[in-house]
Amino acid sequence: MEYKFSFELRVRFSETDAQQIVHNSKYLTYFEIGRVEYLRHLGVPYQQFRDKGYDFVLVVSHVEYKSPAVFDQLLRLQVRVEWLKRSSFQFNYTLADATKDFIVAEGYTIHATVDRTTLKPCHFPEDLCALVEKFEERPLRINS
């Protein structure tokens, strides 16, 4: 499926391990950066939802490592929302070398929408749902 949003990032030295490749934990950081940038691209910074009393908590993360990334490598991270349920949603990611176009890693994360104060599940914001579906140019809501 096509990705409508992507951006580039460069591997910093501090993200590499003793083998001089990106440490496996850093891929989840890249995915987090991707989620925040995706929302910013839609014109709704993440803090805006927190200010409205929502938060999104990570409940599942999955990464498949395809090829090592190394210091100073330019990467392209593609991000999309895969589906939306009443109070949960999934982001998908493809991380590739930006110049040679080979895949470095793929993955997904699943999040729950919660009340920022109580951390209890709540409905995914309808205005964000409509905005994401318009941007992705496809229906995303599934029943559950």
Looking at the structure, give the CATH architecture of the domain made up of residues 5-136: Roll (3.10)
Task: List, by residue number, the catalytic residues.
Answer: 17
Domain chopping of the chain, boundaries? 5-136
pLDDT at residue 144 tops 70: no
What's the mean pLDDT in 8-24?
A: 96
Nearest Cα residue to 11 out of 88, 124, 144, 105: 105
The pLDDT value recorded for residue 44 is 93
Nearest Cα residue to 80 out of 89, 91, 71: 91
Q: How far is CA 143 from CA 4, 86, 112, in A?
A: 24, 7, 15
What are the tokens at 119?
């951390």
* pTM for this predicted structure: 0.94
> Which strand (E) or helix (H) includes residue 91?
strand 88-97
Nearest Cα residue to 63 out of 108, 30, 9, 110: 108
Nearest-5° Cα angle at 120, 115 to 121: 85
What's the mean pLDDT in 109-124?
A: 96
- What tens digit of pLDDT does each residue of 31-80 get? 999 999 999 999 999 999 899 999 999 999 999 999 999 999 999 999 99
